């Protein structure tokens, strides 16, 4: 570990999360690293791969730019957070998993700064998903009526492999096909997989398919 990173590391949060994931053995192996301020509430479960290497999950790493953190990062874990590979969480992000909820992040998932993920039932991010200042919430947070009957309060969110979500909102029931792009300012409310198997450009409020077989290069 570089000397500069040793001083930047939030040792208290790092030790707490590693212990949560695998006891003292994980504390010494350090598969989780936390940089900067992070408010923690840990009543749930953090699940890492059995062969997790040092730095498998990094929270608060300023990999996007050199902007100073606002120090508002928060992790509220009452449910289960499953990490299935290398995951990077940018600075000033909020991740909340309610009791009974499961947040699944696959290999090489990148969550950009100021993103917010609220999971009450199920949020799934497949490999190589990139979120940039995105907001994901699978619950309406309150009961809504349609024709006098209550609508489901929670619907799962799934983001397919290689998808890119840019400054957009994904609400309960949103399913984003692989290698698709959700344009800035868009709000996704439904399953778009029946619009095409992959490579869709979604934009608008509510989001609609603007292009098919759309390819982006990062």
DSSP letters along 128-164, please?
A: T-EEES-EEESB-SS--EETTEEPPSB--EEE-TT-E
Instruction: Please determine, for residue 133, whether its predicted confidence score (pLDDT) is greater than 60.
Output: yes
CB contact at 8 A, 146 and 162: no
Whether 64 is in a domain gets the answer: yes
CATH code, domain with 126: 2.160.10.10
Tell me: the pLDDT tens digits for 109-123?
999 999 999 999 999
Mean pLDDT of the chain: 91
pLDDT at 37: 94
* Residue 218 or residue 138, greater confidence: 138
Whether 197 is in a domain gets the answer: yes
Whether 161 is in a domain gets the answer: yes
CB contact at 8 A, 44 and 69: no
Whether 218 is in a domain gets the answer: no
Q: Which run of H or of E encompasses 70?
A: none
The total number of structural domains in the chain stands at 1
Whether 145 is in a domain gets the answer: yes
Whether 67 is in a domain gets the answer: yes
Its domain, for residue 75, covers 3-211
| pTM of model > 0.85 | yes
Instruction: Please determine, for residue 138, whether its predicted confidence score (pLDDT) is greater than 80.
Output: yes
Tell me: the pLDDT tens digits for 70-101?
889 999 999 999 999 999 999 999 999 999 99
Q: Hey, which residues does 47 pair with through a beta bridge?
A: 82
């Amino acid at each position: 570990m570089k000397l500069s990173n040793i001083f930047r590391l939030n040792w208290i949060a790092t030790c707490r999360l590693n212990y949560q994931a695998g006891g003292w053995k994980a504390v010494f192996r350090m598969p989780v690293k936390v940089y900067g301020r992070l408010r923690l509430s840990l009543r749930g479960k953090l699940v890492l791969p059995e062969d997790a290497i040092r730095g498998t999950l990094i929270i608060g790493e300023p990999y996007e730019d050199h902007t100073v953190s606002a120090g508002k990062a928060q992790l509220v874990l009452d449910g289960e957070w499953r990490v299935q590979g290398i995951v990077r969480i940018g600075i000033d992000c909020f991740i909340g998993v309610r009791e009974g909820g499961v947040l699944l992040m696959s290999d090489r998932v990148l969550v950009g700064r100021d993103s917010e993920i609220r999971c009450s039932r199920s949020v799934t991010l497949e490999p190589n998903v990139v979120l940039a200042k995105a907001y994901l919430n699978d619950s309406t947070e309150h009961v809504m009526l349609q024709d006098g009957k209550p609508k489901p309060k929670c619907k799962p969110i799934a983001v397919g492999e290689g998808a890119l979500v840019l400054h957009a909102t994904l609400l309960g029931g949103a399913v984003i096909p692989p290698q698709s792009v959700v344009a800035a300012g868009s709000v996704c409310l439904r399953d778009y997989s029946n619009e095409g198997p992959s490579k869709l450009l979604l934009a608008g409020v509510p989001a609609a398919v603007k292009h098919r077989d759309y390819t982006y290069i990062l």
